Amino acid sequence: MTLLLPLLACLETGDGAAHTQAALPFPHPAGFDEAHGQALADFPDSCSSCHREGAEAAPDCASCHEDYPHESGWLAGSVHGPDALEESQECSSCHEAGAVTPACTSCHASYPHPADWAGAESHGAWAVSHGSAEAVCGSCHGDRLQGQGEVPACADCHALYPHPEDWTTSHREQDLAQCAGCHGAAGEGGSSQVACARCHASYPHGSDWVHGHMAAASQRGQATCLSCHETGEGPAAVPAACGAACHGGGE
């Protein structure tokens, strides 16, 4: 009976009504520090009668868990994401593998990232396969994937990504080697699954292009070629850039 008195006292709510949920043992048994998270998850109301904020009889959650109970708006990745990276140990005490409360993967299918995540063929392909990279990664990696807090920006590794708004007209001026990591060595699509040929039907050029490019240019018009090859003052049939490179200075 002696043990029941503190238990019953702890199970009374503020208005004196008895608790309706299953009672947790009190005094708490040895090892309860490691198990109390699961107990709280199973019986969320069984602790609040004693451990409510400001209670003198028992410590509240925040006395050990600085970020719990979570504040309003905590669910947004832009809020808990940076904090989680800075205080991963603090979070893992409850969220480790989802043993107590939801694991990161309950909402973020790709996090924690696997060991080979740094390779573009891993994270690039995953982001594309799940829709917009900004939509699926932005909750942690920030607006326009510019990074936030300890979370890196895409541009930390990919200097040309995210692409600027004028990319459709300016990308031809870039070093194609910088594109290969995502778009493949020959611009065939790579992990991004976006090939140059999506917009440029004749690019990447085939192995027999030297012999067939004049016919292709005649069929598609010079404007198709000039989107990548600089124009000039040469004869209409042979732009100056082509003439200077291979066709006798345009004569």
- Residue 230: band (very low, low, confident or very high) from pLDDT cuts 50, 70, 90: low
pLDDT tens readout for residues 136-191: 888 788 888 888 777 888 888 888 888 888 888 888 777 778 888 788 887 888 87
Nearest Cα to Cα of residue 110 among 135, 146, 75, 144: 135
Q: What is the mean pLDDT of residues 107-136?
A: 82
Report the distance separating Cα 161 and Cα 153, nearest Å.
9
Q: What is the mean pLDDT of residues 72-84?
A: 79
SS3 58: coil
Report the distance separating Cα 54 and Cα 101, nearest Å.
24
pLDDT tens readout for residues 30-72: 888 877 877 777 777 778 777 776 667 788 888 888 778 888 8
DSSP track, 215-249:
HHHHHH-HHHHHTTS---SS-TTS-HHHHHHTSGG
pLDDT tens readout for residues 2-30: 333 333 334 343 333 333 445 677 788 88
The token pair at 134 is 């900004």
Report the distance separating Cα 149 and Cα 102, nearest Å.
23
